[in-house]
Amino acid sequence: MAEEEFTDINGNSISLDCQTHSAFCREFTVTSPKLSLRKVMVYTCFVWLFAYAVFFFTENTAVLSSAIILTLVGMMIHIHFVKVDHETLLIIGSLGVQLSSSYASGRESTIFIEMSKLKDIVINEAVYMHSIIYYLCILIKDPADPETVASVVPLFNVRSSCCCSIAKAK
Amino acid sequence: MVLKIFFPQCCNTADSGLLVGHWIPGHNSAVVLAVIHYPFIPGQVKKYLSELQSQTQVDLTVLGSWSMPKEGKEGMDSFLKDLSTIFPQKCWLQLSREIGKRGFICQVVQNNGKLLQDREQKNGDESSEGDKIILIHYDQRKVMLSQLHPVQDVSQKSDIEPSELRLVFQTVAQSQPLFFLDKYDDGPLKLTHWQSEGREASIIAELLKQASVPVCIFLTWLLSLWHWFCSFRILHLHPVLFISSKLSTCVQSGYRAVHFKTVFSPKKAATHMEFMRKANIFVSFLLDIALGLLLISWLYRENRISKLADTLVPVADRVAKELQELLEWLMGAPAGLKMNRALDQVLGRFFLYHIHLWSSYIHLMSPFIERILWYVGLSACLGLTFALSVLSDIVALLTFHIYCFYVYGARLYCLKIYGLSSLWRLFRGKKWNVLRQRVDSCSYDLDQLFIGTLLFTILLFLLPTTALYYLVFTLLRLVVVLFQGVIHLSVDFINSFHLFAIGLRICRPYRLAEGVKFKVLCQEPGTPLHLMMEINPLKCSSVLQCYRTPTYSCYPKDSWAALCKKLFVGELIYPWKQKTDKTD
């Protein structure tokens, strides 16, 4: 698949990769840009300078140690829970659809939706602050009544133009 | 239509033989459970399978043949093909491995002789006649032990059709008797499955299982004795019943008795939820006892309990003295407000006399307090929850005078408010119609109006005094109630915390499964798609939600608005209500 330039709604560039394992099995991977070293340095310096300024006035070393601990803990939480490295959509014909998010710390969270629960995959549009964004989502059947829709699962954390590529490729 | 074959990982390197498993109805998929090796007699295979079918309620059949290439056994392939005539099936699977390749080769022969193969399409079209095969590898032991959530009972007749994965899990879990034959058994058949290297067992686990039945019977008998004792008529007299429903110790012990009944029943747990509930209650009881013993060892180590007892009487005295000072402050000019002198003195002296009575009772009891507390402290060996309930009861008994003052103050204030509202209506020429539950106009005689207005004025001017006493004692009562509420909440927490489920999630995450994960294994041309199925464990938050033990939790009976209204009108409030029946 040709490497087109995609961006997410915040303007960061992302890349889409499509792998065909078999005639009825495909895997789409959306990769986010990595954690930028410059941002990390800027935030750390800011926090530590602020802590040093407070220390200058209060002469309490606990301020400095708490700033260090705060920075470390904040960074660990960010890479473990917030920073998504890549997301994968694996479509296996007549078995189901698997969504997997891989975080910067290596943690992976996966959900698998069986074919019998799947109603349809659609592109939905939503109004987000000042703009309209398009996102791909899966409609899941209600177990009691197969005609109604029980829940809507958004795929990937906000994409825009690559939605169309994935939908076309299906 | 895609054919899905679930293949156990333990059979990847098994010798050639027959595939035994189960066709999932309605889903065009098959679960392979074991491989039967040569030599075998087809009659014995059929007999064994029908025996197992009656034992496990799973429709076990021969699915096909499995061939593993080895030196000196090249002639197997044609032999394997002929087996399809001995075991007639609508679909005969032929799985084989080749030396040098990691993928399996799969051929499916249907009943009418038509051969379906998974071959790479040379022209690249997706023609409908080329039926596809997916081989899904699974870890047999983990799938057997795992439980898919949300839990659906097998015996329960539900409208929801079980999904394919759920059926796969159920099949493997129900086929446990198939996995009892291992390679050391001298039977006519040689099988390969996850336990064929030797059955897993532990002497301690077996001994505990054997010992648990008589122990359970004995404990159930003890419990029935306790119930017989509690059913004595004398204990059902109204005052005793009332007191025992108020004392949290009795409530807690009753609650524990119900727990024991669940745990120590000699019947084996039928469903997964029952088993988890029993295990959770048992583990939380053990934790309770352990914490209680820890508390005892801390309390009795440096004779701390005697020190506590020695400080108890001075603390009670101090509380009485503080109350006295408070009342004397109220009898003067509290916060600059001017009180009605006569009423003030009456109320103040009334309450002061109560405090005097109370402190004399405490002094009467003081020589015995140490001994009583020493023995009561030993009751913590029954569990930390018991010790906390005893503490809550002691606090309730020691602050009984505050409760009494609150009741007096509230009743007086309530009476005053009702009188005032009724006389205010009279002042305006209206009346409360009890029949119609509304306010109607009414013409009063002159003398009624006169007396009514007089009484209204008197009550109105006495209102600040009563209101102030009511306010002070309500605040004190609320402080005590808050403290008791905190103790009850912690007792509840220990009662309902499901340590076993959390421990299972951390140590054996495959037992509680939320779903599955698939991974695509390496692709080789000419082989079907191979997937690896792994168990996706339940999220910790779902564990907490799913396995809460039902408890008599304390919850605020009224909303904030209702509480404020009650306080304003002067109704007695009991903000923490014990639920009388179990809820989740």
- Span B273-306, pLDDT tens digits: 888 888 888 888 899 999 999 988 888 887 888 8
Of A24, A116, A144, the CB nearest to B163: A116
Buried b (16+ CB within 10 A) or exposed e, B262-294: eebbeeeeeebeeebbbbbbbbbbebbbebbee
Closest CA to B431 of B419, B440, B423: B440
- Span A70-105, pLDDT tens digits: 999 999 999 898 888 888 888 888 888 888 888 888
Q: Mutate which of A94, A97, A116, A170 to test chain B, going by most B C-beta atoms within 10 A?
A: A94
- Span B519-573, pLDDT tens digits: 888 777 777 888 899 999 888 888 888 887 666 565 666 677 888 888 888 888 7
Task: Check the CA dihedral B417-B420-B423-B424 and report its sign.
Answer: negative
Chain A residues inside the 8 Å CB shell of B4: 94-95
Q: How far is the C-alpha of B348 from the C-alpha of A106, rounded, in Å?
A: 71
Q: What tokens does B158 get?
A: 């539900």
Residue B530's alpha-carbon distances to B7, B136, B518, in angstroms, are 10, 6, 10
Q: Mutate which of B118, B164, B524, B535 to test chain A, going by most A C-beta atoms within 10 A?
A: B164
Residue B399 CA from chain centroid, whole number:
34
Rg (CA), chain A: 21
pLDDT band at B120 (very low <50, low <70, confident <90, very high): very low
More confidently predicted of A4 and B383: B383
The strand pair at A25-31 and A13-22 is best described as antiparallel
Using the predicted structure, report yes or no on whether residue B115 has a pLDDT greater than 60. Answer: no
Q: What tokens does B94 get?
A: 């032929």
Using the predicted structure, report yes or no on whether residue B149 has a pLDDT greater than 60. Answer: yes
Q: What is the pLDDT of residue A54?
A: 92
Cα angle for residues A45, A48, A53 (degrees, 5° grid): 120
Using the predicted structure, report yes or no on whether residue B98 has a pLDDT greater than 70. Answer: yes
Mean pLDDT on B1-6: 85
Range list of H helices, B332-445: 341-378, 384-398, 400-428
Q: How far is the C-alpha of B191 from the C-alpha of B179, rounded, in Å?
A: 9
Do B520 and A93 lie within an 8 Å CB cutoff?
no
Q: What angle, rounded to 10 degrees, do the helices at B446-496 and B400-428 form?
A: 140
Q: How far is the C-alpha of B351 from the C-alpha of B411, rounded, in Å?
A: 14
Do A21 and B536 lie within an 8 Å CB cutoff?
no
Do A116 and B1 lie within an 8 Å CB cutoff?
no
Range list of H helices, B497-579: 499-507, 540-546, 560-569
Q: What is the pLDDT of residue B455?
A: 92
Q: How far is the C-alpha of B65 from the C-alpha of B107, rounded, in Å?
A: 10
Put simply, whether B524 touches A (Cβ < 8 Å) is no
- Span A41-56, pLDDT tens digits: 999 999 999 999 999 9
User: Which residues share a beta bridge with B522?
Assistant: none
More confidently predicted of A84 and A149: A84
- Judge whether A32 and A12 are in contact, CB under 8 Å: yes
The structure tokens 């076990």 sit at B60
Q: How far is the C-alpha of B260 from the C-alpha of B266, rounded, in Å?
A: 11
The strand pair at B529-537 and B133-138 is best described as parallel
Q: What is the pLDDT of residue A51?
A: 92
For chain A, the three-class secondary structure string (H helix, E strand, C coil) is CCCCCEECCCCCEEEEEEEEEECCEEEEEEECCCCCHHHHHHHHHHHHHHHHHHHHHHCCHHHHHHHHHHHHHHHHHHHHHHCEEEEEEEEECCCEEEEEEEECCCCEEEEEEEHHHEEEEEEEEEEECCEEEEEEEEEEECCCCCCCEEEEEECCCCCCHHHHHHHHHC
Backbone angles phi, psi at B219, to 5 degrees: -70, -35
Q: What tokens does B114 get?
A: 């038509």
Buried b (16+ CB within 10 A) or exposed e, B480-500: bbeebbebbeebbebbbbbeb
pLDDT band at B441 (very low <50, low <70, confident <90, very high): confident
The CB-side HSE value for A48 (13 A sphere, CA atoms) comes to 11
- Span B224-275, pLDDT tens digits: 888 888 787 777 777 777 777 778 787 788 788 888 887 877 777 778 888 8
Q: How far is the C-alpha of B477 from the C-alpha of B307, rounded, in Å?
A: 28
Chain A residues inside the 8 Å CB shell of B161: 116
Q: What is the pLDDT of residue B582?
A: 42
Q: Which residues contact A46 (CB under 8 A, 6 or more apart)?
A: none
- Span B496-509, pLDDT tens digits: 888 889 999 999 88
pLDDT band at B395 (very low <50, low <70, confident <90, very high): confident
Q: What is the pLDDT of residue A91?
A: 87
Most confident of B14-18, B144-148, B181-185: B144-148
Q: What is the pLDDT of residue B126?
A: 41
Do B1 and A94 lie within an 8 Å CB cutoff?
yes
Q: What is the pLDDT of residue B130?
A: 44
Look at the pTM and tell me if it is higher than 0.80.
no
Range list of H helices, B194-303: 203-230, 238-246, 248-263, 272-299
- Span B180-209, pLDDT tens digits: 877 777 777 888 888 878 777 788 988 988
Backbone angles phi, psi at A139, to 5 degrees: -95, 130
Q: What is the pLDDT of residue B127?
A: 40
Closest CA to B104 of B463, B495, B531, B454: B531
Q: What is the pLDDT of residue B38?
A: 78
Share of chain B above pLDDT 70, in %: 89
Q: Which helix (H) or strand (E) holds B171?
A: helix B164-174
Q: Which residues contact A107 (CB under 8 A, 6 or more apart)?
A: A80
Query: Which residue type occupies A164?
Result: C
Q: What is the pLDDT of residue A95?
A: 86
Using the predicted structure, report yes or no on whether residue B129 has a pLDDT greater than 50. Answer: no
Of A23, A24, A90, the CB nearest to B518: A90
Chain A residues inside the 8 Å CB shell of B160: 143-144
More confidently predicted of B111 and B117: B111
Average model confidence (pLDDT) across chain B? 81
- Judge whether B257 and B226 are in contact, CB under 8 Å: yes
Do A92 and B134 lie within an 8 Å CB cutoff?
yes
- Judge whether A55 and A63 are in contact, CB under 8 Å: yes
From A57's Cα to the closest Cα of chain B, the distance in A is: 41
Mean pLDDT on B70-90: 67
Query: Which residue type occupies B266?
Result: P
Q: How far is the C-alpha of B555 from the C-alpha of B119, rounded, in Å?
A: 66
pLDDT band at A6 (very low <50, low <70, confident <90, very high): low
Share of chain B above pLDDT 90, in %: 6
Return the domain boundaries, chain B.
3-196, 197-301, 303-497+554-569
Backbone angles phi, psi at B231, to 5 degrees: -90, 10
